[in-house]
Structure 1
Amino acid sequence: MDGQLKKASSIDGVEELSCPFSDIMQIYKLFEESTTVLQSPPTLDKSNCYFFCKKRPNSESITQRYLDDVEGWISSKSKHRTSYYLEHNFKLIYKRDDGYCFQKMIDGIKSFEKIVPPPGEKDVFIFQKYTAENVSKFFCKIVYSLISKKNPGFSEKILYQYIGAQPVNNNKKIISPKRPVGNVSDILRCLSKVGDGFVRSVLNIPDNLPPIICYTDDQIADFKTNCKRENVIIGIDSTFNLGSYFLTILTYKNQRIVRKETGDHPIVFGPILLHENITFENYHYFFSHVAAILESDPDSKIDTSKITFGCEHENNVMRAVKSVFKNSLSLLCAKNLEENFTNYVGKDCKLNEKIVLKYKTLLFGDGGLMGSQSKLEFDLKEHKLHAELGNLKFFSKYIFKIADQIYNHVCLPKWKLGIPNYWTNNNAESMNYIVSSSVNWQISQTEELIDALRETVERHYSNVKKGLYGQDHLIVGQLYTNTKSNRSLLSCLKVTQC
């Protein structure tokens, strides 16, 4: 951190704290006990600290009201929330047109019950919370304000809290909101790697870090060979917290070799994308590049319509896949679908456990939608599900969205591909684990991350070559055991001494 910026502990009224406040009671107590109120947010290293400031006029915009000297706040991702609490017991209540209410859950249905007798103005305080994210992804700001008739002094001050490390650039200046996170010289060194046999493409996007596509010659040759097989499944998974970039890796089971101990095909790396934002545009750029590589050789005879892509979520990744590989099948991780359903209905909707278990069984149980062996069986079970919903009409839209995902991205691909089990993204996640461990789970400079990726991929494909020679723990798969086929496969890879 810049030596010219004072540390939090050096200024009276600024306290150090590295995590959000635990609850509303802790914040209320801080408002009661605070004795030092600064005129405005001080110029200091705001990493993991909090302090009180004089409240600015409500006539100003929210951004101006909570202004500080830190640049790089993403206004589009800021959030402002207002809540109401009872003064005597800090219980959350809700304000409706007809007065204050408690929220009730009756048989899993959310409803509001008017408070009788209604609380007076001094019985209720207003809690406001403003959150803002920084372009660094590892730094955020939270601003709290309380309005209380019982304690009128609360409304004269606001509580600032900063979580994470305040970012700076090489010139020891606070990062500009228009400049992406990352060392500029580091990015320039990455650009110089284009054509080095691993970094294959870098796209210039204004005000963003450039997305980078990486693979070795061995890697893409093996990828193309496996994509000639019918019903190949390409897994897609992203990881983060390794630096300024997200990392999206394509993985697949190498059909040419098997493990001696288990007879299973090993999971291998396909092309890799480094990208700052998880946008449709970045993914479309990546998959367009992959499609061009697969279709560039007229003699390769790769039918991209027979490639299946699998991912955790039906999001920008799958939108980009369907835009580029229009006739391909898409799989969603069955395990992830079930976990998301459980979290949503159990935590967000706050349905009781009995109802959660009932619909979880109807959707994901052996006798539920996911266990269907044909479209007719699926339709019959879906009709039963519709009848079971009864009065839970508010819930039916979400239920049938899940049912649609199960049919299109779990059951239909399973029937067409003839795979015995539901697909999960465990294989892709395991490869991301290998990548993360290669940099010891540390945030790395981009050049270091690329070098670690290359080393990991080359080591990985060294083992693939050994398998093609029948060495080590891998052997040539049954489909490729004849001499002519094996010579052809070996020619796809650069044969080096392993």
Structure 2
Amino acid sequence: MLLHKDASYKTYYTFFSHLASEFKINSLELRIPEDLVFGSDDEKAMTNDIRDAFPSATRLLCSKHLKDNLKHYLQNKIGVEVKERNEIMDNIFGKDGVVNANNTVDFEDNSNTFKDQIDQSQACQVFHRKFETSFKTFVNEPQRKNKDKSEKLWTNNNAESINHVFTVAIKWKPQSTPELIKKKLYDCVLVQFVHLRGCLHGHGDYDLISSEVHYRITDQISRCKSEDENQQFLRTFY
């Protein structure tokens, strides 16, 4: 967790470069996979820092943020009517839309077909200039390569949810750092570890992805271990 007072490149890079150095040092011990995946919204400072600190990592962009950004451009920058706007959004994000193409050829075909349909509109220019590359590189390609492929496009809802929990917990008002950490962040992180333990034991709201299932441990096996052994196992994830 990073507590920061600004969203500058320098701030984020300090954090991500530290992570990168730790991963290189401890990769064998922690069994960090080579194909690291980072997901974020389209905040430029953060995405650029992830790119620079982890150049070989796969980067995902939140499809919800991309949808919201595109909708904002269509509605407020161009003034596209509701019916046409909904058609454009469906042609891009729908089940058979551009970002859900099954391969690179289909992506290009779908993209070109879509641009031909709106060739005379400003929406075509916006799509080509601001969104097409992001949709291809950070949404469609990672989705196709994902071994644990979901039918739903990736969003950073979990991060947004915990952010909302924090802001509600402090009643949308600034607090001193010691109080914030001691009384609010600690409790939120504690709940996350409760979810983690449930995930490791095969119950609860979350599940392990296929590359991490070797960490799963049944309740029966856990009960046969001492408290120290169970705590040592959990410290693998601290």
TM-score w.r.t. the length of structure 1 is: 0.40
**Counterparts in 2 of 1:142-161, with a 5 A limit?**
none
Match of 2:159 in 1: 428
Q: Is the 8 A contact 1:361 1:368 kept in 2?
A: yes
- In structure 1, the residue matched to 2:117 is 388
Q: For residues 361 and 474 of structure 1, what CA distance do their matches in structure 2 show?
A: 30
Change in 2 beyond 3 A, CA 1:290/1:304: farther
1:339 maps to 2:68: yes
Which whole-Å deviations, capped at 9, do the CAs of 1:424-478 have from their partners, x for residues lacking one? Answer: 1111111222322332333212232222345225532662586489699689966
Tell me, yes or no, if the aligned pair for 2:200 and 2:217 is still in contact at 8 Å. Answer: no
Please report how far the alpha carbon of residue 371 of structure 1 lies from its aligned counterpart in structure 2 after TM superposition.
2.3
Equivalent of 2:49, from 320, 325, 335?
320
Equivalent residue for 1:445? 176
TM-score, normalization by structure 2 = 0.78
Q: Which of 3, 16, 21 is matched with 1:287 structurally?
A: 16
- Asked if the contact 2:74/2:80 (under 8 Å) is kept, the reply is yes
Q: CA deviation at 1:333?
A: 1.2
Q: Unmatched 5+ residue regions in structure 2? A: none
SS in 2 for 1:330: strand
CA change 1:463–1:353 in 2 (3 A) is closer
Specify the SS of the correspondent of 1:275: coil
Deviations along 1:197-232, one digit per CA (max 9) or x if unpaired, are: xxxxxxxxxxxxxxxxxxxxxxxxxxxxxxxxxxxx
C-alpha contact 2:195 2:204 (8 A) present in aligned 1: no
User: Is 1:310–1:425's contact at 8 Å kept on the other side of the alignment?
Assistant: yes
Q: Which has the higher helix share?
A: 2
- The alignment of Structure 1 onto Structure 2 pairs a total of residues equal to 222
Check conservation: 1:469, 1:475, Cα contact below 8 A.
no
Q: What residue identity is the alignment partner of 1:273? A: L
Report what 2:88 is aligned to: 359
1: CA distance between counterparts of 2:81 and 2:35? 43
Q: In the alignment, which residue of structure 2 is the partner of 1:493?
A: 234
- Does structure 1 retain, via aligned residues, the 8 Å contact 2:166–2:185? no
**Matching residue's letter, 2:25:** S
Cα offset for 1:312?
1.8
Alpha-carbon offset, residue 336 of structure 1:
1.8
- Partner Cα separation in structure 2 for residue 475 and residue 335 of structure 1: 21
Measure, in 2, the Cα distance between the counterparts of 1:283 and 1:410. Answer: 22
Amino acid in structure 2 at the alignment position of 1:433:
H
Whichever residue aligns with residue 217 of structure 2, its letter is T
* Partner residue, 2:7: 278
Alpha-carbon distance between aligned partners in 2 of 1:468 and 1:340, rounded to the nearest angstrom: 33
Question: Does residue 349 of structure 1 match 2:78?
Answer: yes
Check 1:454–1:425 CA distance in 2 against 1; reply closer, same or farther (3 A cut).
Answer: closer
1:326 maps to a residue whose letter is P
Distance 1:474 1:368 in 2: 30
| Other-structure match for 2:217 | 481
| Rounded Cα–Cα distance in structure 2 between residues aligned with 1:368 and 1:330 | 21
C-alpha distance 461-388 of structure 1, shift in aligned 2 (>3 A): closer
- Comparing 343-352 with 451-460, greater Cα deviation is found at 451-460
> Equivalent residues in 2 for 1:84-95 (5 A)?
none
How big is the shift at 1:323?
Answer: 0.5
Mapped pair 1:397 → 2:125: yes
Q: Which runs of 5+ in 1 are unaligned?
A: 1-271
Q: Distance in 1 between matches of 2:82 and 2:29?
A: 54
Does the CA contact (< 8 Å) of 2:59 and 2:142 recur in 1? yes
Q: Which residue among 406, 410, 417 is the counterpart of 2:139? A: 410
How far apart in 2 are the matches of 1:475 and 1:350?
A: 41
Cα RMSD for the two superposed structures: 3.3
> 1:474 & 1:373 partners in 2: Cα distance?
29
